């Protein structure tokens, strides 16, 4: 089952049909434990369509915080160790990769997040920028994993590499996060063979592509959720980006107008263009 957001409307895609409810309390829905089973029954009272009734999709978020895990794949550890070598920060990444406590950082709320088809930004004071394609968990208020979406944890590698203490500036700014196109709701676990793929196009040419299976992740989802919910309450639920396993080569940086496509099997494709301008959200 896939859950889409268009304005305040919720659209559920289930067994080839679409069900729409025009005014939904998203915070109630996303904080709910057992959302898949709840919606399975609920959509029978919703308006039914054979085709998707709306083409404009919003990121599926309202009052939720988006957090992100870092250095959960060896590729991310290696890239970070290299970029922070000169600043003397390399050891931190090596240590956190093997530590019990994961790296978790606050990424964004809805006001800095865009959906599919919209623009993500690179910072004007950064010279080295990459997208980070990340499987993203929807976690209920009680800490249960209720669904999965696609996240783009836009990152400045030049700011982060200058000093690891600059991480919040490398990660958090207007239009720094993308989420969507939908939330996959299921009561089954995702297969370790599920692939995340990234494609970056410039002037209609693919300039970078790569893919990775989620089984390559060093940590379990349960472990990440355990640390995130240890001392924080999330009454409306939360999103957790689970880290990147794909990092373009060091000579690659994003340019204005690039198109970033992140696909995850079973969820879909999140497409965003790269911009600079501080457009209002």
153 makes contact with Mg ion (CB under 5 A): yes
The sign of the dihedral angle between the CA atoms of 268, 1, 24, 35 is negative
| Residue 74 backbone phi and psi in degrees, to 5 | -65, -30
Residue pointed to by tokens 């990152």: 155
For residues 12 and 51, give the distance between their C-alpha atoms in angstroms, rounded to a whole number. 11
Is the Cβ of residue 132 or residue 258 nearer to Mg ion in the bound state? 132
Q: Which residues bind ligand DO4 (CB under 6 A)?
A: 68, 70-71, 76, 80, 103, 132, 153, 167, 243-244
146 makes contact with Mg ion (CB under 5 A): no
Q: In angstroms, give the least distance from the CB of 201 to ligand DO4.
A: 22
**What is 64-122 written as a DSSP string?**
PEEEEEES-SHHHHHHHHHHTTTTT-HHHHHHHHHSSSPEEEEEE-GGGEE-TTSEEE-
Element (H, E) at 233: none
Span of 37-45, 125-133, 157-165, 219-227 interacting with Mg ion by CB under 5 A: 125-133
Q: In angstroms, give the least distance from the CB of 11 to Mg ion.
A: 28
Find the radius of gyration of the CA atoms of the chain.
Answer: 18
Q: In angstroms, give the least distance from the CB of 108 to ligand DO4.
A: 13
Q: Which of residues 226-255 bind Mg ion (CB under 5 A)?
A: 244
Residue nearest to Mg ion (CB): 153
| HSE value, Cβ hemisphere, 13 Å, CA-based, for 151 | 30
2 binds, among ligand DO4, Mg ion, none (CB under 5 to 8 A by kind): none
Rounded to the nearest 10 degrees, what angle do helices 74-83 and 90-98 cross at? Answer: 160
Q: In angstroms, give the least distance from the CB of 236 to ligand DO4.
A: 23
146 binds, among ligand DO4, Mg ion, none (CB under 5 to 8 A by kind): none
83 makes contact with Mg ion (CB under 5 A): no
Element (H, E) at 254: none
103 binds, among ligand DO4, Mg ion, none (CB under 5 to 8 A by kind): ligand DO4
The sign of the dihedral angle between the CA atoms of 102, 106, 110, 114 is negative
Is the Cβ of residue 13 or residue 132 nearer to ligand DO4 in the bound state? 132
- 33: tokens are 């434990």
80 binds, among ligand DO4, Mg ion, none (CB under 5 to 8 A by kind): ligand DO4
Q: In angstroms, give the least distance from the CB of 243 to ligand DO4.
A: 4
Is the Cβ of residue 121 or residue 244 nearer to Mg ion in the bound state? 244
Is the Cβ of residue 137 or residue 141 nearer to Mg ion in the bound state? 137
- List residues near Mg ion by CB under 5 A: 132, 153, 244
């Amino acid at each position: 089952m896939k859950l889409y957001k268009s304005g305040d409307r919720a659209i559920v895609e289930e067994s080839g049909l679409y069900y729409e409810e025009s005014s939904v309390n998203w915070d109630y829905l996303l904080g709910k434990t057992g959302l898949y089973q709840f919606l399975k029954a609920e959509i029978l009272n919703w308006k039914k369509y054979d085709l998707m009734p709306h083409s404009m999709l919003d990121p599926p978020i309202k009052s939720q915080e988006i957090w992100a895990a870092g250095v959960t794949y060896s590729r991310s550890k290696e890239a970070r160790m290299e970029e922070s070598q000169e600043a003397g920060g390399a050891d931190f990444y090596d240590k956190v990769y093997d530590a019990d406590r994961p790296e978790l950082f606050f990424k964004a709320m809805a006001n800095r997040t865009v959906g599919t088809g919209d623009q993500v930004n690179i910072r004007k004071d950064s010279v080295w920028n990459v997208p980070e394609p990340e499987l993203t968990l929807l976690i209920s208020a009680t800490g249960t994993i209720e669904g999965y979406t696609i996240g783009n944890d836009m990152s400045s590698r030049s700011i982060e590499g200058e000093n690891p203490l600059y991480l919040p500036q490398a990660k958090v700014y207007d239009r720094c996060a993308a989420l969507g196109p939908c939330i996959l709701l299921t009561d089954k676990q995702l297969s370790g063979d599920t692939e995340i793929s990234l494609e970056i196009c410039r002037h209609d040419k693919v300039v970078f592509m790569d893919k990775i299976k989620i089984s390559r992740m060093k940590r379990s989802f349960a472990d990440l959720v355990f640390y995130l919910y240890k001392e924080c309450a999330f009454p409306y639920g939360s999103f957790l980006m689970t880290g990147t396993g794909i990092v373009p080569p060091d000579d690659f940086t994003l340019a204005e107008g690039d198109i970033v496509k992140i696909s995850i099997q079973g969820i879909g494709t999140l497409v965003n263009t790269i911009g600079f301008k501080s457009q209002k959200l």
